[in-house]
Amino acid sequence: MNNPDYKHSVGEPHPLGATLYKYGKNKCAVNFSLFSNEAQSVDLLLFDKPEDALPSHVIPFDPKENKTYYYWHIFVEGLSHGQLYAFRVNGVYQPENGYRYDSEKALIDPYAKAIVQGNFDREEAKKLGNNIGTSMKSVIIDSAKYDWEGDKHPKIPYESTIFYEMHVKGFTQDPSSGVAPHKRGTYTGVIEKIPYLKELGITAVELMPVFQFDYQDAPLGRPNYWGYSPINFFAPHNAYASDPNNADAIVDEFRDMIKAFHKAGIEVILDVVFNHTAEGNELGPIYNFKGFSNESYYLLDPEDRGKYLNYTGCGNSVNANHSIVRRMIIDSLIYWVKEMHVDGFRFDLASVLSRDEDGNPMKNPPILWEIESEPALAGTKIIAEAWDAAGLYQVGTFIGDRWAEWNGKFRDDVRRFMRGDNQTVQALAARIFGSPDVFQKEKRNTDRSIHFVTCHDGFTLWDLVSYNEKHNLLNRENNQDGMDENFSWNCGTEGETDDKEINQLRIRQVKNFMVLTLFAQGTPLLLMGDEFGRTQKGNNNAYSQDNEISWMDWTLEKKNSELLKFTRCVIQLSQKLKIMQIDYWLLDQKSDHKPYILWHGTQLNQADWGEHSHCLAFELCHPQQKEHLYIAINAYWEDMKFELPEGTWKMVVDTAGKDAIQKKANAPHVMVKNRSIKIFINHAADKKKSKQSIRKK
């Protein structure tokens, strides 16, 4: 129906999206602007309820008055915060030429700041024609009305950061979380668990995708639990709010969570997916981008423009270096920093963003340089997963000077060494040293290596020491999905066991991985639940498991309290030591003034770099801070005796012990149990430093 009620005028092409203006006494108006270069006509659809199958009003754009070049815009009086809307765009439907305009399809605003679910149905969006009754709806948001109460970004330097990768829903969804049923799996639920993270020693949470995503985007009727299937790049995912169809609850609840994290001194990093969208390939649905300008937003096959270049493994690849798409990505990042107060971003499959319109890697990709140089993002953390699903691997060579990178080589080399593989000791030393063989750029600080042993993609840490093979049958893909080579070792028995010796060995191995992650040069990242042995029962690709397989089992907090206590103590120790919080390369020779590292074997200054070596020891010394450590690593299957450097030493970590005990070690040699690690601090230096600290106070 046409609109007899709302007065409207030409409007402006800038800014894109729906922008709320207030004027007079309690009067509001909204300027709508969208990009569609080949559209023939555009309608604005207004709705009263999320599930409405018919719009309450239809306001057509006049192609002569409401269009400037390829921007369609209109100014509508009488609309305000909370109004639901969508667009219809009419144009040529020629998939073989890259055009997929559907004049009956309700399209979500790419710049919508909130989206409500309604009766959303992905299958209906795949069909040509009217899907209004089963489409999501965009929501007009008044960002200015939220009270941030003076909230500030913590701005914690990389070198002092402990990342914790977590899933918003999975963190509190299990009843064992102790969170009230109506808060489980929500932004509010996360707030209740912030004290736990603070006590653990976490300084930054890295949230798995929270942009509005398509929960139905998984094969065989399974859910897309992880969320790497974005529909929009500005709206928080509505299902993580206490009331998914209340726009205020969606946006403000997310902001409440950010504000609560900041009050605890914890940063919030978002895992962002700009490499593909939920619209998939030529068989996928039309939500927005395909219907506004398919040929602009996606990389199309040059030989068959009806198909998509797929460097993501998800059906399509975003044309990130197209001028319009670049602008949208930058606008999105700025919005999340300025209006939502997030502290940084981890870019999923970031190497896709380096490809040109034909899919070729570019030497100087415009979008990556724009992200690095954008002044509004200067104080944020920007982290690249520097590879894609088509074999492009750029770890250590990623563009720019400011980008940090996920260090996948750390994960693989540390796993192989602790498993007992041959020819791994030199690689382990390189990872401990900050991976100089990988990160060779002169301006790249050591703290820009984000090193980890586990992340959402693959085994949990407990499963890494409990399974030799993946067990993904619940995914209903005949165990063909997920990585085949995990460099894991089950310690003698596949899966769960009542064997006390095997379980003790597994706990020891988990502790070993924790120590190596926290005492390597660079910036450590831990996976949610690894601190107390969360298991996915051997599933190394749980992207569709929205159930107990993926949720945090909080009963393990008590059951595996030894492991949790150990993790807390080791984090606390690493955060106390200045030598673990530097952003430059250590010297590999003794110095009276600069921090250095010295390599040893079971005998001092005689590191065994041989093919069959399974042990390594090293000293870390920060002369100016009066810090002196000795760390002995024994990945061999028999106990080994290590020679201590001269001095009086205090053992502060023993992964073979029940607790992170502190004990003097005066003997010239110490015994390190098989498959374990010990850390010693020079007692004299530690004592002297303690006196200095007391004197300063």
Which residues have a Cβ under 8 Å from the Cβ of 37 and sit 6 or more positions away? 70, 293, 296
Q: What are phi and psi of 188, to 5 degrees?
A: -65, -35
Question: Cα separation of 607 and 601, whole Å?
Answer: 4
Reduce the DSSP state of residue 474 to 3 states and report it. Answer: helix
- The count of residues in the chain is 697
Name the active-site residue from 267, 385, 388, 405.
Answer: 385
What is the residue whose two structure tokens read 């382990």? 428
Residue burial 150-163, b: 16+ Cβ < 10 Å; e: rest: eeebbebebbebbb
Distances (CA, A) of 615 to 421, 423, 642: 11, 11, 10
Question: How far apart are the two ends of the chain, measured CA to CA in Å?
Answer: 74
Name the active-site residue from 348, 553, 643, 686.
Answer: 348
Both tokens assigned to 619: 């000293």
CB contact at 8 A, 341 and 242: no
Dihedral, CA of residue 192, residue 197, residue 203 and residue 208, to nearest 10: -70
Q: Active site includes 348?
A: yes
> What type of residue is 306?
G
Both tokens assigned to 234: 């500005």
Reduce the DSSP state of residue 99 to 3 states and report it. Answer: strand
Taking residue 357's Cβ as centre, other Cβ atoms within 10 Å add up to 16
Question: What DSSP assignment string belongs to 304-359?
Answer: EEEEE--SSSSS--B-TTSHHHHHHHHHHHHHHHHTT---EEEETTGGGGGB-TTS
Question: Cα separation of 676 and 61, whole Å?
Answer: 70
Question: Cα separation of 474 and 204, whole Å?
Answer: 32
Question: Cα separation of 512 and 520, whole Å?
Answer: 12
CB contact at 8 A, 602 and 641: yes
Q: Which candidate, 429, 426, 485, 488, places its Cα nearest to that of 453?
A: 488
Look up residue 457 and give its DSSP letter: S
Residue 119 burial (CB < 10 Å; 0-12/13-18/19+)? middle
Question: What DSSP assignment string belongs to 178-198?
Answer: ---GGGTTSHHHHHHTHHHHH
Taking residue 558's Cβ as centre, other Cβ atoms within 10 Å add up to 10
Q: Which candidate, 559, 542, 543, places its Cα nearest to that of 463?
A: 542
Distances (CA, A) of 629 to 597, 653, 685: 10, 11, 9
Q: Which candidate, 136, 139, 138, places its Cα nearest to that of 124?
A: 136
Q: Active site includes 385?
A: yes
Instruction: Show which residues are catalytic.
Output: 348, 385
